[in-house]
A and B are shown apart, each in its own frame.
Chain A
Amino acid sequence: MASIGKITGVNGNLIRVAFTGPVTQNEVAYAKLSSGVKLKSEVIRIRGDYAELQVFEDTTGLKAGDDVEFTAELLSVELGPGLLSQVFDGLQNPLPRLAEECGFFLQRGKYLKALERDVKWSFTPVAKVGDKLTAGETLGTVPEGIFKHRIMVPFKVQGSVTVEKIMPMGDYKVEDVIAVLKEADGKTIEAKLMQTWPVKVPIKQYAERMRPSEPMVTQQRIIDTFYPIARGGTYCIPGPFGAGKTVLQQLTSRYADVDIVILAACGERAGEVVETLREFPELNDPRTGKSLMERTLIICNTSSMPVAAREASVYTGVTLAEYYRQMGLNVLLLADSTSRWAQALREMSGRLEEIPGEEAFPAYLESVIASFYERGGVVRLKDGSIGSVTIGGTVSPAGGNFEEPVTQATLKVVGAFHGLSRERSDQRRFPAINPMDSWSKYEGIIDIAKVEAAHDILISGVEVNQMMKVVGEEGTSMDDFVVYLKSEYLDAVYLQQDAYHDVDAACSAERQKYLFSKVDQILKTSMTFKEKEDARGFFLKLTQITKDWNQMEFQSKGFKDLEGQIFKSVAEVATNA
């Protein structure tokens, strides 16, 4: 029997409740307004005979003495076919269906089921009566868009179970029982197309966790070549506002070489979600030819939506990612932005009057961030197939200063760091990933030694440029000047990419390898110039043609013509050995 309580205090979205009966930490409860509307909330602290709850909604109108109903269940999500291409809020309410019912505005206290109950899915059994299975193993499949959605033994099941009954091939609704399983002690469990799982608990029903080793190609040159991401890895993109975090996230969600992309828009602008929402259905996934939306799932708690649900939204996102990973798929979770989530923690911590840590963030901030990123990874499932969850989180550090708690806590736990800089974005050098302080621990698509060599040129170029600011161009030697021009060339034609150009926006791994070998060749060519003006003029022109070259279809006629031109002009200035 679930417990009940009465409100004794209201402070923002924190309520204090006197209760009778047992109450669990992180359990879901509903606060009842006098109008009868129930507001979803979560227990976050228990002290003696009162509990403190964060309410996922605006608390206007709650009174001391109002009833609270506890549910004895942790905050959970529904898992099953029909999740893909959906748009949910942080608590997994489907927003489009909510709009149909409530119109323009989000009405508080209105909760809808995440999965549509009336849709039928055509189920094909895989398991047979008598099979001994454990949690997470496949009972059968249903087609969901372009994927074979595995219906699995519920993750909650402990130990091995025997299949007593399995339904034949046919159409079923998500709540229909498709198998009856018997536990060792003789208890039976009914398995449905859907199941639920608490968001704050990682799904661990796999055989083993492996080291991320395979690169995840994003088709952004600076990332794949210089600061690669691995499937199952984690990375973060900190940067000041206006440095292009969001554009980079959108590009990644479009071009990344993964099966499913989950966008967790956490405390960010609604407009950005809308862009994805309205554009993705129109765009084609180059891999499948189907609409991009079919492989996308959006969790959206924009900055004006209730703060407490912000925290829930990242957990909801990662739980859904883990669910699809259990089907042997590669999933990318993009969380934008984790700073907003950290701020939500800070707000709540302040209301709880906890002793503040650095910049008033709670002391447990680091461990919370670490355990979130640790939910990424590559796993070998019980049937031998491989699935992965890659997590990319943006960080919005105050004032663009990376020395703040959220950035620092994130850097400790991620495998790659793409630091965006205001300087580069002011110069319109996009993606504004700063080659001076970014890093990656993963292996990329291009030989590491060559990348190092190219990176050294970038560093030398910056050094020469700094020196030139002091001694002037006339005080710089020709050799140094050419190194500087070469580094600027590499920057302009390789690191920078035009996100709004049809061809240049995405550069395939194959093309990157090709382009890199050519640029590498040019960088290694030793060149002679009479005057610095000549050298500058030459590189301006070369940059121009190479940029045009980047905008040509790969291996088209125009592409080959320009390649010829580039190497002809390089040959003209090459030092004859």
Chain B
Amino acid sequence: MHKVYHRIERIAGSVITVKASGVAYQELAQVTSAQGISLARVIRIDKEMIDLQVFSGARGISTDSEVRFIGKPMEIPFSDSLLGRVFTGSGVPRDNGPLIEENPVEIGGPSVNPSKRIIPRRMVRTGIPMIDVFNTLVVSQKLPIFSVAGEPYNQLLARIALQAEVDVIVLGGMGLKHDDYLYLRDFLEQNGALSRSVMFVHTASDPIVECLLVPDAALAVAEQFAIKGKNVLVLLTDMTNFADAMKEIAITMEQIPSNRGYPGDLYSQLASRYEKAVDFDTAGSITILAVTTMPGDDVTHPVPDNTGYITEGQFYLRKGRIEPFGSLSRLKQQVNGDTRPDHRTIMNTMIQLYASFKETIEKQSMGFRMSTWDRKLLKFGLRFENEMMDLSVNIPLEKALDLGWTILGDCFEPEETGIPSKMINEYWPKKG
């Protein structure tokens, strides 16, 4: 029978310590206190002293609360009946629906054998030119959306979720404002996508430990769907809250902080989540889009910085637009060679010219005389911003490419663009 303990030695933050024997690392326990029953997880063993992380927080736990070890690590139920449901990070329904207990699967399981992965070759169409044309999203890609607080990142996420052609959407919300949670749920519901979605939500007022569990739970479920051959899109918002939760726990545990108080294993912790993105050779796939808010718009902040090294590119969301500089999809080369022959040309040329436009703007603001070339760039830059960069633009890739040629044709002479002559002959808009 499971062992029960009634004496808690130490309580700090959400971590409690009990004296026990025969307890396994990462094992779950049930803590019963005046506050009710909560799960807890073993996070350190030192001889007989067992440190446990209490999911609902240690508030209200007394020294004589009951701790019952259940002899297994954290699991999450998995079945098709998860679709359309909303849960907390520990798998408890938060939509008043029935509890699901069938077919439990381990969370934070082992990583995929690299030799069972395949090179991603399929594009995810989003209808957003700044993504489709310039930084194509690819199946099995892991991409963060770097943004400052206040940008419409959840709206962007919701729109991509709706327009992307995937079988299952798994949404993990960490430290979400309650309004945002309702927005996301209602948006999916109104557009008929809730029935193919599973949501794991931790709101800002929920216990901090549950925030840590959200990505693991969401990805464990996504993995199961992928093994069954489904193409899954995982949306995580916001990973900075997840990192902050880790920081909070690490400091309570008296770990030596490495950079701005974050634990030394921040990179590994983030990586083990993002690396769940996969395209299996004989089954489905997982694509991950994760919002990472940058405190103070600082990309060198440890969270966006470490994330950038893990993910396959990043989207910068700034002033309601996806920035062309800095935004990058590392996998775009895998797919944009097969879409249309002029795809790469348009992508490179327009970005290079837009960079020159930015320089001209700088010159203009310093009061220098504008040359003919500068005036052409100004014309181009403004059209580019209004007709392609704006997030409200919703056109398929082919239309966006045509639009690119039209803008170039209206603003420049062919040889000024640096486009190879072969492309010019084929695609340059004919005058008249």
Which of A's residues lie within 8 Å of B, judged by CB? 8-12, 16, 34, 58-65, 87, 95-96, 98-99, 102-108, 240-242, 246, 267, 269-271, 273-275, 277-279, 300, 302-305, 307, 337, 340, 343-344, 346-347, 349-350, 353, 356, 359-360, 396, 398-401, 426-428, 469, 472-474, 500, 532-533, 536, 540-541, 543-544, 547-548, 551
Contacts and interface: CB of A to CB of B under 8 A. Distances in A.
A197 B45 CA distance: 35
B48 A274 contact: no
A342 B233 CA distance: 33
A60 B363 CA distance: 59
Interface stretch (B154-162, B180-188, B269-277): B269-277
Given A95-B114, A106-B111, A304-B271, A63 B45 contact: yes
Contact of B45 (A11, A279, A474): A11
B111 A426 contact: no
Contact of B25 (A10, A302, A474): A10
Given A11-B45, A105-B113, A360 B259 contact: yes
A80 B277 CA distance: 35
B94 to A, nearest CB: 27
A409 B257 CA distance: 21
A307 B110 contact: no
A96 B111 CA distance: 14
Contacts of B120: 271
A360 B24 contact: no
B368 A473 contact: yes
B150 interface: no
Contacts of B308: 240-242
29 contacts: A8-B46, A10-B44, A11-B45, A59-B25, A60-B24, A61-B24, A62-B45, A64-B22, A65-B22, A99-B115, A105-B112, A241-B309, A269-B310, A269-B312, A274-B119, A300-B114, A303-B271, A304-B112, A343-B265, A346-B264, A347-B265, A350-B258, A359-B258, A359-B259, A401-B300, A426-B325, A472-B369, A473-B368, A500-B337
Interface in B406-421: 415-416, 418, 420-421
B30 interface: no
Contacts of B23: 63-64
B81 interface: no
B420 to A, nearest CB: 6
B328 interface: yes
Interface residues of B, number: 81
Interface in B71-122: 73, 109-120
A105 B110 contact: yes
A343 B267 contact: yes
B229 to A, nearest CB: 12
Interface of B: 21-27, 44-48, 73, 109-120, 140, 227, 255-259, 263-265, 267-268, 271-272, 274-276, 278, 280, 283, 299-300, 302, 305-306, 308-310, 312-314, 325-326, 328, 330-331, 333, 337, 344, 348, 351-352, 355, 362-363, 366, 368-369, 371-373, 415-416, 418, 420-421
Given A63-B25, A106-B110, A544-B415, 5 more contacts: A62-B24, A98-B115, A302-B275, A399-B300, A532-B371
Nearest to B270: A303
The interface centre, meaning the residue of B73, B268, B415 with most chain A CB atoms within 10 A of its CB, is B268
B369 A64 contact: no
B271 A540 contact: no
A542 to B, nearest CB: 11
B415 A541 contact: yes
A398 B110 contact: no
Contacts of A303: 267-268, 271-272, 274-275, 310
A432 B111 CA distance: 32
B73 A60 contact: yes
Contact of B110 (A87, A107, A399): A107
A154 B112 CA distance: 36
Pick the 6 closest A-B CB pairs, nearest first.
A399-B300, A304-B275, A303-B271, A241-B308, A360-B258, A60-B26
Contacts of A271: 117, 119-120, 140, 312, 331
The interface centre, meaning the residue of B278, B314, B330, B351 with most chain A CB atoms within 10 A of its CB, is B330
A107 B112 CA distance: 9
B136 to A, nearest CB: 14
Contacts, number: 217
Contact of A242 (B328, B362, B369): B328
A242 B111 CA distance: 24
B313 A242 contact: yes
A83 to B, nearest CB: 16
A271 B114 CA distance: 8
Nearest to A265: B114
Contacts of B24: 34, 60-63
A279 B121 CA distance: 13
A271 B273 CA distance: 14
The interface centre, meaning the residue of B22, B115, B255, B313 with most chain A CB atoms within 10 A of its CB, is B115
Contact of B280 (A104, A279, A347, A473): A104
A543 B352 CA distance: 14
A61 B26 contact: yes
Contacts of A305: 111
The interface centre, meaning the residue of A8, A60, A65 with most chain B CB atoms within 10 A of its CB, is A60
A34 B227 CA distance: 29
A11 B44 contact: yes
A356 B255 CA distance: 12
A252 to B, nearest CB: 17
A245 to B, nearest CB: 10
Contact of B267 (A64, A65, A273, A340): A340
B373 A536 contact: yes
Nearest to A396: B309
Nearest to A108: B110
A104 B267 contact: no
Contacts of B305: 241, 398-399
Given A63-B22, A63-B24, A540 B416 contact: yes
A346 B120 CA distance: 33
A108 B108 CA distance: 13
A270 B279 CA distance: 11
Given A11-B46, A61-B25, A544-B415, A399 B111 contact: no
Contacts of B328: 242
A64 B276 contact: no
B312 A99 contact: no
Contacts of B312: 269, 271
A398 B25 contact: no
A86 to B, nearest CB: 11
B333 A500 contact: yes
Contacts of B368: 472-474
The interface centre, meaning the residue of B111, B113, B283, B312 with most chain A CB atoms within 10 A of its CB, is B113
A98 B113 contact: yes
B78 to A, nearest CB: 15
Contacts of B299: 399
B314 to A, nearest CB: 7
Given A9-B45, A105-B109, A533-B371, A278 B118 contact: yes
B312 to A, nearest CB: 6
A42 B23 CA distance: 23
B176 to A, nearest CB: 25
Given A8-B47, A242-B308, A102 B256 contact: no
B258 A346 contact: yes
The interface centre, meaning the residue of A11, A536, A540 with most chain B CB atoms within 10 A of its CB, is A11
A95 to B, nearest CB: 4
